[in-house]
Amino acid sequence: MAQGKTAYRTGDLGRAWAAFQQAAAITPPSATPALWLGAVAVARGDRSAAAAWFREALGRHPSLPEAGCAVEWLRLLGIMTPRPRWHLTGPEEYATFVRAVNPSLTRVQAQQLGAAVLSAAARDGIDPRLLAAVVFIESRFHHAAVSSAGAQGLGLGVDPRDPLQNLRGAARLLRLHLGEFSTPALALAAYNAGSDAVRRWGAIPPYAETRWYVWAVLWVYDGLRG
């Protein structure tokens, strides 16, 4: 990666491309080399390759800042990322959605998580589609997910050892924020950055990660409403 960055900064795009391709092949789960390949493609004027690599980065379970970077590049290139469109009503639809997001789950595991989303949301009186959108952005329904800040679990931060308890805790926290703040956007900002930050700013805090997070969850939520 270091050689690729040096080559990119000195204008040696051919060497940068080769170095980042090698890094992308060595570390498939990492979004970082895919982002750099997209940047090199932009510098080369290859819009199609740039779009392909930024989309590839989004598919590699990026951190929130990495995902925000990829989405912003796609926006600048005039490319809309595909919005998920699902009509979620009952347990089977939720299970299908969960397994589509995380294909490593068995059918039974997906059914359990789908049912848990519905149960947790009903217990706290929130829209299960909003809870599903939060989990989609937080962890892609990977119970072992770890955020850049070290938070763990489906909802990243609430009892990571037990996926079902994690969902209940995430729903409870989301309900508290929805009860305190006037809009879903502010509640999501509090979920990400903490309620103190939202109170202090009286708005979505001017943190790049939080602004992207709010936009991303609401973007997915809109798609889950069919």
Please tell me whether residues 119 and 13 are part of one structural domain: no
Per residue in 66-93, pLDDT (tens digit) is 888 888 788 777 665 556 678 899 999 9
Confidence of residue 112 (pLDDT cuts 50, 70, 90): very high
Number of domains observed in the structure of the chain:
2
**Statement: residue 125 has pLDDT above 90:** yes
Please tell me whether residues 45 and 151 are part of one structural domain: no
Distance, in Å, from the CA atom of 97 to the CA atom of 100, rounded to the nearest integer, reads 5
Which of 19, 46, 76 is a domain's end point?
Answer: 76
- For a pLDDT cut of 90, what percent of the chain falls above it? 40
- For a pLDDT cut of 70, what percent of the chain falls above it? 87
- This prediction's pTM: 0.65
Distance, in Å, from the CA atom of 207 to the CA atom of 188, rounded to the nearest integer, reads 13
The four Cα atoms 9, 15, 19, 22 give a dihedral, to 10 degrees, of 150
| In-domain check, residue 82 | no
| In-domain check, residue 81 | no
**Statement: residue 149 has pLDDT above 50:** no
Enzyme catalytic residues: 138
128-139 helix and 184-193 helix, angle to the nearest 10 degrees: 40
Please tell me whether residues 98 and 199 are part of one structural domain: yes
Confidence of residue 156 (pLDDT cuts 50, 70, 90): very low
E strand or H helix at 36: helix 32-44
* Residue 6 belongs to domain spanning: 2-76
Q: What is the pLDDT of residue 114?
A: 95
Q: Look at 35-39, 74-78, 94-98, 183-187 and tell me which has the smallest mean pLDDT.
A: 74-78
The domain that holds 135 is classified in CATH as 1.10.530.10
Q: What is the pLDDT of residue 163?
A: 78
What is the b/e burial string over 184-197, where b = at least 16 CB atoms within 10 angstroms of the residue's CB? bbbbbbbbbbebeb
Which of 43, 76, 109 is a domain's end point?
Answer: 76
Q: What is the pLDDT of residue 12?
A: 85
| In-domain check, residue 216 | yes
**Statement: residue 152 has pLDDT above 70:** no
